[in-house]
Amino acid sequence: MHDNIQRGRLEVKVKSALTNACTLKLENFEGPFDLLFYLIEKNQIDIYDIPVVVITDQYLDYLNAMQELDLEIASEFLVMASTLLHIKSRMLLPEREPVEEEAADPREELIIKLLEYKKYKEYSKVLSEREEKWSKVHYKLPEAIPETFAENEIEVSPVILRSCFLEVLKRYRDKMTDVSKKMKRILDHEKVSLRAKIRELLGLLKKGIKICFSKVYNTRKKSRLEVATGFLAVLEVVKIGYATVEQHADFGEIYVTPCDKKKNIDPMILAEDD
């Protein structure tokens, strides 16, 4: 029965003479444009060239099927049916008088509405897919982190405070007055030899004492290039197995200790620079 409009959301049981009961599945369309769009897709019709006669007949078949099943038909479906019948009659009846200008297509307004409906239907599909996808995602709500700060009071004598202030002031003055020296060093392209720093470090380690890196390579007495090269020298000495390093905290002091069993050193390292 009305095989061209059978789909499956709404199930209605109908008494039959051949069987006790059979199930007829009819689409529960959300509105007349939903039904029209389904008929266009089912018949693979170009939406810009709708055969109104065929579509109207199938549309009315669907409404008749609903009436036979005693289903309530919404008023907007009936309004669409009358609109389709009106368009169908205009296309079937011949024009009484020839018109010089090309007459407007009676389907034009319907096509515009169908195109608009198609656009929103596609948007709805995308949003439904996103809803299904993201409904399975669970987010962790931000936690309120209590602002707990240890209020430790440090007792500092005025003498120590004055000494610290003078030290900071001295560093600032040295930094400001040493601009010419720094500029001269930049212009002269200061060169610091890695091999020279390795030899310097090996000479200190031969005394068998633990070396404090910041005392040997003090940034206030040495240039940044010298300090960086000195650090590379420490890494090289550790690499050849001549010393070990210790650092008890992040950004803490680095201590270099000579090894008890020293390996032979490559003569190229001890050679003087050209």
In this prediction, residue 118 carries a pLDDT of: 83
* Pair (27, 111) in one structural domain: yes
Token reading at 81: 């049916």
Looking at the structure, do residues 38 and 127 belong to the same domain, yes or no? yes
For strand 22-26 and strand 243-246, is the pairing parallel, antiparallel, or unpaired? unpaired
CATH, residue 231: 1.10.10.580
Q: How far apart are CA 243 and CA 260, in angstroms?
A: 9
Residues 42, 54: contact at Cβ < 8 Å? no
pTM: 0.33
The DSSP bridge partners found for residue 258 are: 243
Domain count, the chain: 2
Which of 85, 78, 86, 7 minimizes the C-alpha distance to 39? 7
pLDDT 10s digits, 77-98: 777 788 777 877 777 776 666 5
Based on the fold, state whether residues 116 and 207 are members of the same structural domain: no
CA gap 82, 88 in Å, rounded: 10
Residue 2 confidence class, pLDDT cut points 50, 70, 90: very low
For residues 125 and 45, state if they share a domain: yes
Ranking 141-150, 174-183, 248-257 by mean pLDDT, the lowest is 174-183
For residue 147, tell me if it sits in a domain: no
137 CB burial (10 A radius; 0-12, 13-18, 19+) = exposed
Q: What is the mean pLDDT of residues 219-241?
A: 85
Is pLDDT of 1 > 80?
Answer: no
Does residue 11 carry a pLDDT above 60?
Answer: no
118 with 29, same domain: the answer is: yes
For residues 156 and 75, the answer to whether their CB atoms sit within 8 Å is no
Q: Which two tokens stand for residue 69?
A: 């099943």
> Can you tell me the distance from the alpha carbon of 210 to that of 257, in angstroms, rounded to the nearest whole number?
5
8 with 74, same domain: the answer is yes
Residue 26 lies in a domain: yes
> What is the residue-averaged pLDDT of the chain?
74
In a domain, residue 154? The reply is: no
Min mean pLDDT across 17-21, 33-37, 67-71, 77-81 is at 17-21
Q: Tell me the residue range of the domain where 251 lies.
A: 187-270
Residue closest to 255 by CA, chosen among 205, 196, 180: 205
